[in-house]
Amino acid sequence: MLGGRSIPCTWLLVCALASGCAAMRREAPSPDLRPCTDGYAYTADGWRLGVRHYVPEHPDPGKLPVVLCHGLGLNATFWTITDNHLPAQLTARGYEVFVFDIRGSGENGRIGRLDQRNRRRRNTPFRELGEGKWNVDDLMRYDVPAILDYVQRETGRDQVNWVGHSMGGMLMFPYFELDATSHTRIANFVAMGSTITLADAPKYDMLMANRAIRTLNHFASPGRLGRPLSFFRMPGMNIIDSFYYDEDNVDQRTVSRFYGYTLEDPGPGAFRQLDRYLKCGHMYSSDGQLDYSAMLDRVKVPLLMIAGEGDIISDVPSTEITFYSIRSPDKTLMIFGTHYGQVADYGHCDLVWSRHAATEIFPPLIDWLDQRQPGPPIAVRSTLAFPSEQALSSPQE
């Protein structure tokens, strides 16, 4: 009731539940559900980034480490809220795996006088202090090199395989375009649900969601306010859920873990930068001076792009535009959906969370990586065919 007492009472209930969710995550029974604390990478602009390290029982010395990077408004638990998750499959195939929380996620923070105060605020529904200005450019310029340096110190390898979902892949396009050392540090790049050009802009529904979250961010922490949804569902949630996943393709336990353990604050600066992307269809630098979508011909690294036929955020036409703009001599596009022989039309997060991802998506992804490792050639162990034969090789230029 808009004019009654139900909204204040509901707000108090949500705040009370949200204040306990941060502690619940820190004390989760499985490390897969906790913030990354195996080690810390430190960025040149003063951020501490938590890292989790998965070590295979039988490491393959011919394979480079894999870095998994989650998207905006989430944390590294994104990769591990399901059984037989991607890190587990990668380690079973001999890869060392590193997942990390980007700035603004997990237990990360900017080192300094606000760090301790923000640690306490994580047990409240209120946003953290002094962290509203970072943007996508900062993730690319500072977080990526910091993680690469960390992995090199831990493994002695100066190259990695980078697998990014959503923003975790999107930020790599400007990294390859602007950093002269990028192609010597990233051996292979997998972009899951990651586009940098929109086929149909403006995206009014996503713009409305973007601006609503930015407004809420002035008063409270959207991530922590969403965590009580792990325990109960509110009317209209199916509309929000549809941006993330197809409910017929994801187990309810996974959905519960998503809201309880994975949501974070997206960062007002990053969302402001995305606003222009959603309006004009091209990704620009935060100052508006560089059009990252217009420089994709600079990306030369071996590339695998993975798209879901039911993805609303990174739809198939947008993925195809991005894919065909890239001039890498080794690039592959895989599309997952019923049209391509899979059991469901994969949504944005279904690519990682689906109950079928462990058998339909992860094996061909890892096969693709296996074929590009610097060690001696190995037999491809999966019997699954690639889902989309149409793009196993680049088009004729």
Determine how many CB atoms are found less than 10 A away from the CB of residue 113.
9
CB 75 within 8 A of CB 262: yes
Do the beta carbons of residue 51 and residue 99 sit within 8 Å?
A: yes
* CA distances (Å), origin 159, targets 18, 39, 131: 40, 19, 31
Calculate mean pLDDT across residues 342-357.
95
- Summarize pLDDT for 272-311 with one digit per residue, the tens: 999 999 999 999 999 999 999 999 999 999 999 999 999 9
Structure tokens at 175: 């990294």
Helix orientation angle between 237-244 and 204-217, rounded to the nearest 10 degrees: 110
Angle made by CA atoms 10, 11, 14, in degrees to the nearest 5 = 85
Q: From CA 296, how far away is CA 375, in angstroms rounded?
A: 29
6-391 domain in CATH 3.40.50.1820? yes
pLDDT digits (tens, 9 = 90+) for 26-72: 888 899 999 999 999 999 999 999 999 999 999 999 999 999 999 99
**This prediction's pTM:** 0.89
Helix 204-217 with 268-280: angle, nearest 10 deg: 160
Say how many Å lie between the first and final Cα of the chain, rounded.
60
Instruction: Give the pLDDT band of residue 21 (cuts 50, 70, 90).
Output: low
Vertex 305 angle, CA 392 and 160, to 5°: 105
